[in-house]
Amino acid sequence: MQFSSRKPGFEYLRKKWSARRNVSQNKFWEKHGEALKQVAIGSLGGLMLLGPAKPQTVQTHLFSSRDDVLKGYDKNVLLAENLSDKIPKDLSPLEKQEENEIVEILSKSFGFKVTAQIDNIRLNRNFGLIGGEQHLLRYPGDNLYAHADTTADWAKYGSAGMAPGLGAWGYFAPSKSEFIDIDKQREKYYLAIQTFLIPGYAENVAKYRDFFKFRKMLVVNPKTGQAVVAVIADAGPAEWTGKHLGGSPEVMDLLGLAEGPRQGAVLYFFIDDPKDQIPLGPVTVTERLAKL
């Protein structure tokens, strides 16, 4: 579905209402987040103490009540609780022990292998400040309006604009006719990573270029547990910005960082997925987290 440059009034109002809702939700989370975590943890703890009598009936009731209270965060709130004492209080790089503990938590939580290193290649850091990026050109002749499938998409992500240049690996597809769904998903859920800061990058440009192209990563907002599977599709941001990586408008939205300054502290690690079985997009933790 294509859109013209003229935006109906209801789209403008939809965008304003959506922004106001997100701001209110974030303020509510900041004020009551700790209490909500305890509700979720208490519900799970109560299940473990229950006797054998009618377990299914009680379990359904408790999970239904918790989901009502934690709607929009679900079990990912437990992930935030598990990470709360594992990450630095500032934005300093993770120490080896912190890194190992976090990798184990994330791998068990999501049910796939998360790692800081693949083929002896690792990033300069795995905890840092992410900032919002613009949409990228996906094929020759692409335009901003073509990125929106619905009026809701346009209202939510259109204001991010389009980057004037190409991503680090050029177009996602050589032409519009060859543009397929995986190309669309990669641009929708893309990251800009400071690959150029990796020791030895200048001496191994070709090797690192091929390794990092569309490399799959897990990004987690440790404050809320919101998480997304994305790919590396650009290099940046520059060191002088003070940011350590960038995220597409959709990535920032899924991390709960699309409003205000459009930035925040995140964890980001490689996903070891040689058979390309892990889909891109938002991801929620499994029941395994309750056993950590």
How far is Cα of residue 158 from the mean position of the Cα atoms in its chain?
19
Spatial CA neighbour of 252 closest among 215, 224, 273: 224
User: How confident is the prediction along the chain (292 residues), in pLDDT tens digits per residue?
Assistant: 454 444 444 454 455 555 555 555 555 455 555 555 555 445 444 433 344 544 444 444 444 444 454 454 467 888 999 999 999 999 999 999 999 999 999 999 999 999 999 999 999 999 999 999 999 999 999 999 999 999 999 999 999 999 999 999 999 999 999 999 999 999 999 999 999 999 889 899 999 999 999 999 999 999 999 999 999 999 999 999 999 999 999 999 999 999 989 999 999 999 999 999 999 999 999 754 444 4
Q: How many CB atoms lie within 10 A of CB 263?
A: 17
Domain boundaries, the chain: 74-291
Kindly tell me the burial class for residue 17, based on how many C-beta atoms sit within 10 Å of its own C-beta (0-12, 13-18, 19 or more). exposed
On whether the CB atoms of residues 267 and 219 are closer than 8 A, the answer is yes
SS3 270: strand
C-alpha angle with apex 70: 66 to 76, nearest 5 degrees?
105
How far, CA to CA in Å, does 106 sit from each of 29, 64, 75, 123, 276? 22, 25, 13, 17, 18
**Separation of alpha carbons 49 and 14, rounded Å:** 46
Q: How is 197-226 classified by DSSP, letter by letter?
A: GSTTTTT-HHHHHHHHTT-EEEEE-TTT--
Residues forming a β-bridge with 129: 265
Query: What letter does residue 92 receive in the DSSP assignment?
Result: P
pTM of the model: 0.76
Q: How far apart are CA 30 and CA 34, in angstroms?
A: 8
Q: What is the DSSP string of 131-153?
A: EE--B---STT--GGGG-SSHHH
Q: Sign of the CA dihedral 43, 46, 47, 48?
A: positive
Q: Tell me if 29 sits within 8 A of 224, measured CB to CB.
A: yes
Domain covering 74-291, topology:
Barwin-like endoglucanases (2.40.40)
> Which residue type does 179 have?
F
Are the beta carbons of 20 and 156 closer than 8 angstroms?
no
CA pair distance 220, 134, nearest whole angstrom: 20
Residue 121 bridge partners (DSSP)? 118
What is the C-alpha to C-alpha distance for residues 137 and 283, in angstroms, rounded to an integer?
A: 25
**pLDDT tens digits for range 133-145:** 999 999 999 999 9
| Structure token digits, residue 74 | 């679900």
- Residue labelled with tokens 């009502």: 68
Q: What is the pLDDT of residues 241-278, one digit of tens each?
A: 999 999 999 999 999 999 989 999 999 999 999 999 99
